Amino acid sequence: MLDVIEKGSTTAAHPTPLLFVHGACSAAWIWDDHFLDFFAEKGHHAVALSLRGHGASSLSQPLGSCSLVDYAEDVSIVAAQLRSPPVLIGHSMGCWVVLKYLESRSAPAAVLLAPGTPQGLRRWALRAALRHPWLMVRSTTFGNTVDLFDSPQLAREFLFSSGTPESVVRSCVNRLTPESTRATRGTVKPLPDPRRVTAPMLVLSARADTSRVDGDASSVAAAYRADSDAFPDMGHAMMLEPGWSAVAERIETWLTGKGL
C-alpha cells in the first residue's frame, strides 16, 4: 500500500494531474508543507506519493534492496490510478525516479528540481568526501544516507541555505528517515538515455545548493533539451526554503504555458 496525499482537483484551466515524487530520506510530507496547497489553490489536482518504505507506505522487501526501478514502479502504480496521465515533478533522487519512469512510459511533461548531472553524482560525492571524509565513509559503507543529515548543522550544510529559519531545518531533520543503499548508489550512475525520454521538461536548480556542483542542472537541461531556471540564495530543499513560492510560481507559469 502506497501512502498518497491529494489536494484539489483538475479544472478546465488545468486538466492534467500533478504527481510529486520526493527525494532520498523524505516522503510525501515534503511536498505537503507548501506545494500541494499552492497548486490546489491554482486549480490543479496535486498528488504526492511516499515511495515504498517511506512515510506510511508499506514495504515487502528489505529497504536496502529497493532500486530506482522499484521506485519508478511505485510512481507507475499511483499514476495509473489517476484520471489521466500526470505531469511528474521530482526532487533530487526523485529526478532519477521520474527519468526511470519516462524511459519506458510517456507523460504530458516533467519538472526536475535539483537533479544531478547526466553522469551522476560522482563529482559531488568526491567534494563531500574531501570535506567530511569519515562521515561519507560511515554513511556509504557502514550506515545510511540519512546519516548525512543527522544534525541541524549537517542538514543546513547539505539541504538549506544560510537564510533558512532554524525551525524549518529542525522540522525537516526530525522527519527524515533511512534510504535504500541500492537506490542511492544508483544516483552515481549516469542518468537515463535522453533519446528515450520525450516528455517536455523543466529543470530548476538552486544556486546555494551544496548538494550539487555548479553546472549540474544546466547539463541535465541541455541533455534532455529542457527549459531551465535557477534561483539565487536557495538551498537544496527548494520546496521548504523561504523562497519556495518563487519556485512554485515558476512551475505554475511553465505548466500554464504548456496548457497543463
Determine, yes or no, domain membership for 200: yes
Determine, yes or no, domain membership for 154: no
pTM of this structure: 0.93
Q: What is the pLDDT of residue 41?
A: 97
Q: What is the DSSP letter of 241?
A: S
Q: What is the pLDDT of residue 157?
A: 84
Determine, yes or no, domain membership for 223: yes
- Are the beta carbons of 167 and 237 closer than 8 angstroms? no
Q: How far apart are CA 23 and CA 6, in angstroms?
A: 18
Low-confidence ranges of the chain (pLDDT < 50): none
Q: What is the pLDDT of residue 220?
A: 92
Q: What is the pLDDT of residue 89?
A: 98
Would you tell me how many other CB atoms lie within 10 Å of the CB of residue 172?
23
Determine, yes or no, domain membership for 162: no
Determine, yes or no, domain membership for 249: yes
Q: How far apart are CA 3 and CA 21, in angstroms?
A: 12
Determine, yes or no, domain membership for 136: no
**CATH code of residue 104:** 3.40.50.1820
Q: What is the pLDDT of residue 119?
A: 65
- Indicate the number of domains in the chain: 1
Q: What is the pLDDT of residue 42?
A: 97
Q: What is the pLDDT of residue 50?
A: 98
Domain of 198, in residue numbers:
4-121+179-257
Percent helix / strand / coil, the chain, rounded to 5:
45, 15, 45
Determine, yes or no, domain membership for 227: yes
Determine, yes or no, domain membership for 142: no
Q: What is the pLDDT of residue 122?
A: 59
Q: What is the pLDDT of residue 138?
A: 60
